Amino acid sequence: MIRFEHLSKGFWVGGEFKTVIDDLNLTLPTGRSLGLLGRNGAGKSTLMQIIAGTLPANRGRVVSDGTISWPVAFGGSFHPMMTGEQNVRFVARIYGVDTDSLIDFVKDFAELGKHFNMPVRTYSAGMRTRLTFGTSMGIRFDTYLVDETTSVGDARFRRKSREVFRDRMRNSSAIMVSHNMAELREFCDAGLLLDRGKLRYFENLDEAIETHQALMA
């Protein structure tokens, strides 16, 4: 269960305050994987970071009775001056998981080679995403926050990413942002639509997609 209580967030842009999350009061159901839809700039990444606790809200709070991953495409999750391995070691300690097991999993999954022992600031965007996605998949969370990451890399790596994510979804749920509607239909069974600061829950994912596409037309 994830519950929003009077959640609000905005930013100052060009001397004007822009509200992107406007007094949300909504409880997301347990055990459902949700496709998060909305136009570019609607605030999807902002909402994901607030849910994860990596970005503070201006007002209100997020309440959950389970463990939630960080947004796995969010490069700010890792310290740029530390190596990939050092970052993974630090995350393992924070979440109380076996350090060696997590390092072995990420090293094998992310396929970074010698870069795994180089500072993250030297990584390309794709390499950072592979590191964050691999680290997240190496820890068992109740809810995974996923932002376009199963599309990273070549065809073989994308297949591997989808396979490990599908395996995690057998016992966990997710909130997923993707512009690929086929991908949302593959992994999600309900929908969320963020529009003008308001969030709507759809029991039927196809209805959420249709409503989103109508708003974009």
> Which pair of structure tokens corresponds to residue 103?
């390092």
**Average pLDDT in the chain:** 93
Residues 6+ away with beta carbon under 8 Å from 150: 158, 161, 162, 165, 178, 183
Residues 95-148 pLDDT 10s: 999 999 999 999 999 999 999 999 999 999 889 888 988 999 999 999 999 987
Domain ranges (residues) in the chain? 1-67+142-153+171-217
One-letter amino acid at 94 equals I
Which residue in 113, 49, 53, 41 sits closest to 84, CA to CA? 113
Residues 3-15 pLDDT 10s: 999 999 999 999 9
Q: Give the count of alpha carbons within 13 A of 134, CB side only.
A: 30
**Confidence tier at 71 by pLDDT (50, 70, 90):** confident
Q: Which pTM value belongs to this model?
A: 0.89
Fold (topology level) of 1-67+142-153+171-217? Rossmann fold (3.40.50)
